[in-house]
Amino acid sequence: MSKQVIAVILGGGAGTRLYPLTASRSKPAVPIAGKYRLVDIPISNCINSGINRMFVLTQFNSASLNKHIKNTYHFSIFSSAFVDILAAEQTPDNPSWYQGTADAVRKSLRHLSQHDFDYVLILSGDQLYQMDFQDMINKHHESGAAISVATIPVHAREASDFGILKADHDGHITSFIEKPKQDLLPDWKSETSEEMQKQGRVYLASMGIYIFNRKLIFEQLMEEHKNATDFGKEILPKSIGVHKIMSYEYDGYWTDIGNISSFFEANLALTSDIPPFNLFDNSNAVYTRARMLPPAKISGTTLEKTIIAEGSIINASRIENSVIGIRSRIGHGTTVVSSYIMGSDYFETIEEMQHSVERGLPKLGIGERCYIRNAIVDKNCRIGNDVRINGSNHLENTDHSLYTIKDGIVVVKKGSILPDGFVI
């Protein structure tokens, strides 16, 4: 069945809610779990599901994403597998940029049409989950559906952030509303599984994962709804009652990395004893660039619920409930609590460190006797000695040249230099 499927991964818009992590990179290129990038998640799910023909659609800050995909996803020359970037392009018939999810796929159809496939699987580039798409495709095929939508039960407090739908006992979607206001919710409850009902998860939300039959996607985007820009707001509601649309209910872990706090929580959740997203699953490997880095080196550090990526040199006194990314360097006497340190893109040699010190610059990484809590430290930062970063809800949201504070989380911007004794 997988030979009949082609996947389209949507790179998302400008990613303003994830700013400043998206100031110089697209949302799918944001580093996650210390060594991966967000786009590795949908690509890995596809590969693990036997789907190996993928297009990634991008338009904002796509240089680092292009580089990552070019350096990572190499397949045998004897296979038809590929991961190709389709950046928004101006053509004689399409002079504008992508206007939304449906518009992005519409403008890519001429590239898709050159391939042989029966179904197109449409995915988001900014979600964290492990899912067997093969099962969804099989059910789509068996039911004779024209469109299938992956759905997940959510609580009332989350429901207004999603497209909410109702389905009958056979799984046919009968109605759909995009981001309903709280006062409309009582009318949109669904019969979910007993376990989900106990948790209060009684609203069926669209996960933004769709399967379309080949003929239908061309008809809808090029003829029936040729001015529609979005799948959730326009294509799905207009298709209900016209085409057979099925709900594929998923009950595993799934989170939408929409803003800084959800990104922060998703990363720190990986440090739990039994994390909701399992990086240690033989059958669901997460693939990324093979960097050939040395193992992490740790000296005199108390570690508690912490993930440390390769290439790191850690002399901190204590690290707790934190994710430490590739090539991180953390000095003596430093404490890191509930933080995500993204690490660095390169090693600084001893000579370069000496040169930095002579110029009055902190070394690459985190210095000595620092205290860092409730923070995200982006790549290639230089944090001096005796620096205190103490994120909490009493801090007001602000955007400084070196850092941003959102929901009590301090985000140190990529490449920032915090001098000795700096306090946030």
Max avg pLDDT among 156-165, 251-260, 413-422: 413-422
* pLDDT at residue 35 is higher than 90: yes
pLDDT (average), residues 237-261: 91
Q: Tell me the domain boundaries of the chain.
A: 2-262, 291-418
Give every CB contact of residue 211 below 8 A, 6+ residues apart in sequence.
119, 120, 121, 122, 136, 137, 140, 145, 147, 148
pLDDT (average), residues 159-176: 90
Contact 335, 370 (CB under 8 A): yes
Give every CB contact of residue 340 below 8 A, 6+ residues apart in sequence.
34, 264, 267, 268, 322, 323, 325, 375, 376, 377
Confidence of residue 85 (pLDDT cuts 50, 70, 90): confident
Confidence of residue 228 (pLDDT cuts 50, 70, 90): confident
Share of the chain above pLDDT 90, in %: 64
pLDDT (average), residues 251-260: 89
Confidence at residue 48, expressed as pLDDT on a 0 to 100 scale: 95
* pLDDT at residue 40 is higher than 80: yes
Give every CB contact of residue 406 below 8 A, 6+ residues apart in sequence.
259, 260, 261, 397
Contact 389, 354 (CB under 8 A): no
* pLDDT at residue 351 is higher than 60: yes
* pLDDT at residue 59 is higher than 90: no
CA dist 258 and 18 (Å) reads 7
Look up residue 242 and give its two tokens. Answer: 């016209």
pLDDT (average), residues 405-424: 96
pLDDT digits (tens, 9 = 90+) for 372-406: 999 999 999 999 999 999 999 999 999 999 999 99
Confidence at residue 389, expressed as pLDDT on a 0 to 100 scale: 98
pLDDT (average), residues 117-130: 93
**Which CATH superfamily groups domain 291-418?**
Hexapeptide repeat proteins (2.160.10.10)
Fold of 2-262: Spore Coat Polysaccharide Biosynthesis Protein SpsA; Chain A (3.90.550)
CA dist 403 and 82 (Å) reads 38
* pLDDT at residue 153 is higher than 60: yes
Confidence of residue 93 (pLDDT cuts 50, 70, 90): low
* pLDDT at residue 233 is higher than 90: no
Confidence at residue 51, expressed as pLDDT on a 0 to 100 scale: 95
Q: What is the pTM of this model?
A: 0.93
pLDDT digits (tens, 9 = 90+) for 185-219: 888 988 888 888 888 888 999 999 999 999 999 99
* pLDDT at residue 62 is higher than 80: no
Confidence at residue 110, expressed as pLDDT on a 0 to 100 scale: 87
- Amino acid 397 reads N
Confidence at residue 237, expressed as pLDDT on a 0 to 100 scale: 86
Tell me if 2-262 shares its fold with 291-418. no
Q: Is 5 helix (H, G, I), strand (E, B) or coil?
A: strand
* pLDDT at residue 8 is higher than 60: yes
pLDDT digits (tens, 9 = 90+) for 258-306: 899 999 999 999 999 999 999 998 889 999 999 999 999 999 999 999 9
Give every CB contact of residue 191 below 8 A, 6+ residues apart in sequence.
none
